[in-house]
Structure 1
Amino acid sequence: MTTTDSRGRSEARRHRQGYAVLDVETTGLDPYRDRVIQVAIRQIAADGTAESEWETLVNPGAGVDPGPVEVHGLTSADLAGAPAFRDVAATIAQRLAGRVFVAHNAPFDWTFVAVESDRAGVRLEVLEWLCTMRFAKALALEVPDKSLATIAAYYAVEQLKAHDAGDDTRVAAEILLRELADADRAGLALPLVECNTSRQRLKRTLRRWFSRFRQPYR
């Protein structure tokens, strides 16, 4: 009998570079005006096994409001001693390099990390992302919505601390393996999306430049 886990690993072998599952907490919703305050990454090998996990708080800068504390629970005091993004940008780039970028609502997390890395002058060697939310839609899961909590419940993955980058990344990684298993069973092509072409990098640069006219750079 083929288990869910072994099916997930079979599907993962199609991507020899493996996966980097990431989640961020931020000061707001606009990646060109708001900042990352927590980031977590889980590396999954090409055979579907867990390789490493890493996370850090990020200091968004002096005087920057941490945003919705009632959501992510992170105060200015919590972030005061954390490194700036530029100080961890190279580590983040190394952990993402050559892998499929994975997140729940990947466009959000990818854009925040990419824009922050652009600010830091660090290039991300990532070509494609895989969104576990869009993956759930492609699989036509019978759920009322595609939130992380709902998809986690569908796959019986326990959430321990919602809106914490470390725990959300753990949950997303578990969801990924189960979605890979379902896709393998259904013979479904993975919904991969190009995310870092030269044109996309130029677009980010221009949007970041124009955003300075809308609000003082932070």
Structure 2
Amino acid sequence: MALQRIFSVVDVETTGLSPGRDRVIEVAIVRIEGGHIVHSYSSLINPERPIPLFIQQMTGITDAMVVKAPTFAEVLPAVTTHLAGTVFVAHNVKFDQGFLKAEFTRAGGEFPSLEFVDTVALARRGMRGLPNYRLETLCAHLGLAVGGHRALGDATVTAHLLLRLLAEAPEIAPALLTRPR
């Protein structure tokens, strides 16, 4: 039943940890239909402010890379289209969803009301006993390549993680969805 849903697996890279103060510098959305990855979208985002050095070192995304990139307001229509009518999935969904909601508000848009899935919570139910549930740890445990702190790589590996969790622990599927907040 769960794999009949359409999922948008989302990852964002940001200038920091606070949706109220910091900005998105990259967004990626990987679409899953019928249990298969069918499409991906990604864009660098001009945060209209300097990217802190430690973020540049962690992500490899530099000020020079985003200076001519679109602002979030400019990618808002594409992001909205890719999310429409899907289940929003992320690894630590509060982070990605919180940043997207803040960016939608800044851009004068309204974040869509979507059901969502947190792969951290899903992994805690289906893969008990791991030392932690960071994306890197789960990928190592399942033999998946890590995305390397870039949005498309992380969204793609999170999509594969979701598919593996649902295939290996189908009993977690009934508790999969959380209603919009």
TM-score past 0.5 threshold: yes
Contact 1:100 1:126 in 2 (8 A): no
Q: 1:27 to 1:118 in 2, by over 3 A?
A: same
Q: 1:188 to 1:55 in 2, by over 3 A?
A: closer
The alignment's C-alpha RMSD in Å is 1.5
Name the residue aligned to 1:93: 80
* Distance in 2, Cα, partners of 1:187 & 1:146: 16
Deviation at 1:187, TM superposition (A): 5.6
Q: Does 1:69 align with 2:56?
A: yes
Q: Does 1:35 align with 2:23?
A: yes
Q: Does 1:181 align with 2:167?
A: yes
Instruction: Supply the AA of the counterpart residue of 1:37.
Output: I
Which protein is bigger by CA-based radius of gyration? 1
Q: Does 1:137 align with 2:124?
A: yes
Q: Does 1:20 align with 2:11?
A: no
Q: Does 1:11 align with 2:35?
A: no
Name the residue aligned to 2:106: 119
Q: 1:195 to 1:187 in 2, by over 3 A?
A: closer
Name the residue aligned to 2:90: 103
Instruction: Supply the AA of the counterpart residue of 2:59.
Output: H
* Distance in 2, Cα, partners of 1:78 & 1:26: 14
Deviation at 1:153, TM superposition (A): 1.4
Instruction: Supply the AA of the counterpart residue of 2:3.
Output: A
Contact 2:11 2:27 in 1 (8 A): yes
* Distance in 2, Cα, partners of 1:153 & 1:80: 35
* Distance in 2, Cα, partners of 1:59 & 1:97: 23
Cα displacement string for residues 20-43 of structure 1 (whole angstroms, at most 9, x for unaligned residues) = 001000000000110000001111
Deviation at 1:188, TM superposition (A): 4.8
Q: Does 1:190 align with 2:178?
A: no
* 2:45 equivalent among 58, 67, 85: 58
User: Which runs of 5 or more residues in structure 1 are unaligned?
Assistant: 1-9, 197-218
User: Which runs of 5 or more residues in structure 2 are unaligned?
Assistant: none
* Distance in 1, Cα, partners of 2:44 & 2:175: 32
* 1:158 equivalent among 145, 155, 162: 145
Size of the aligned set, in residue pairs, is 179
Contact 1:93 1:123 in 2 (8 A): no
* 2:157 equivalent among 159, 167, 171: 171
Deviation at 1:156, TM superposition (A): 1.4
